Amino acid sequence: MKKKSSIINHQLSIRMLRVGVFDSGLGGLTIVKALTEVIKGAEIFYVADTKNAPYGEKTPEQILQYSLDVTRYLVEQHQIDGLIIACNTATSAAVKQIREAYSSLVVIGTEPGIKPAFEQTQTGKVGVLATPATLKGEKYQKLASDLSKKQEVTLFEQACPGLVEQIEKGEIDTEETRTMLENWLRPMRESDVDTIVLGCTHYPLVSEVIEHVMQRRLNLIHTGDAIAQYSLALSQEYGHLNEGDLDLKLYATGEISKESVKHIFGKVLKVETIVL
């Protein structure tokens, strides 16, 4: 990505970097957790749009509007320098429009890790767990099609309606969640799938359950660490020194599981309710 202005370089060298991150709920916190492990001297503002969750079962038009509303809030209220769309579904529906509407903002999207999955599979069988909207999205469809033409890999695509809601309720390892995953994963297990793309930022929170159901060692592909490293490299290009304290502020537009937040970060964190 090209530098947008030398002014940004100067600004970031004299003050803290401001990064906005959003998702429909808890899932994007898996990316925020990865960010907190590599980025210093920054303010991170996370918005969980739980009032409108889950995005994956909404129309593209609804997802676009929600995404624009959150972005406007982060820009106007927190004067962010960069935005991470910590949601595959929102990226597919809104990243282009957000970049057009906020041309001076550095915008990083999230996409399912199809490419690394193709590179890591040994059996040539790759599973993709995602929301219905992500699997139907033009960006995902094109990427999967292009990669399949270059390498002979069998894709097992599975939409997971209701899984985000289970995770949002904190039901990570309940009988209902295990049953849902068993039904979705059985064909992958029986077909010798060895690599599964977690195509929603919520899904890493049920990684252990997925591995238990699959009954084998797996390559579980999710994008949190990669996005954190890319964000750090990009911020340094813009003059960020990556020194000093990190300030994390969490916001939600509706109910959110405080216990799940604690589970992700290992400690209790304050979550402020906002109205967009």
The 10s digit of each residue's pLDDT in 76-132 is 999 999 999 999 999 999 999 999 999 999 999 998 899 999 999 999 999 999 988
> In the chain, which residues fall in CATH 3.40.50.1860?
6-110+224-273, 114-221
Residue 87 is among the residues annotated as catalytic for this protein: yes
Structural contact between residues 22 and 47, judged by C-beta atoms closer than 8 angstroms: yes
- Taking domain 6-110+224-273, whether its CATH number is 3.40.50.1860 is answered by yes
Q: Is 160 a catalytic residue?
A: no
- From the candidates 200, 213, 228, 256, give the one annotated as an active-site residue: 200
pLDDT classification of 14: cutoffs 50, 70, 90: low
Q: At a CB cut-off of 8 Å and minimum separation 6, what does 50 contact?
A: 24, 25, 168, 252, 253, 254, 255, 256
pLDDT digits (tens, 9 = 90+) for 179-190: 999 999 999 999
What is the fold, at CATH topology level, of the domain defined by 114-221? Answer: Rossmann fold (3.40.50)
pTM for the full predicted model: 0.87
**Catalytic residue chosen out of the listed positions 39, 74, 84, 87:** 87
What pLDDT digit, counting tens, does each position of 191-231 carry? 999 999 999 999 999 999 999 999 988 999 998 999 999 99
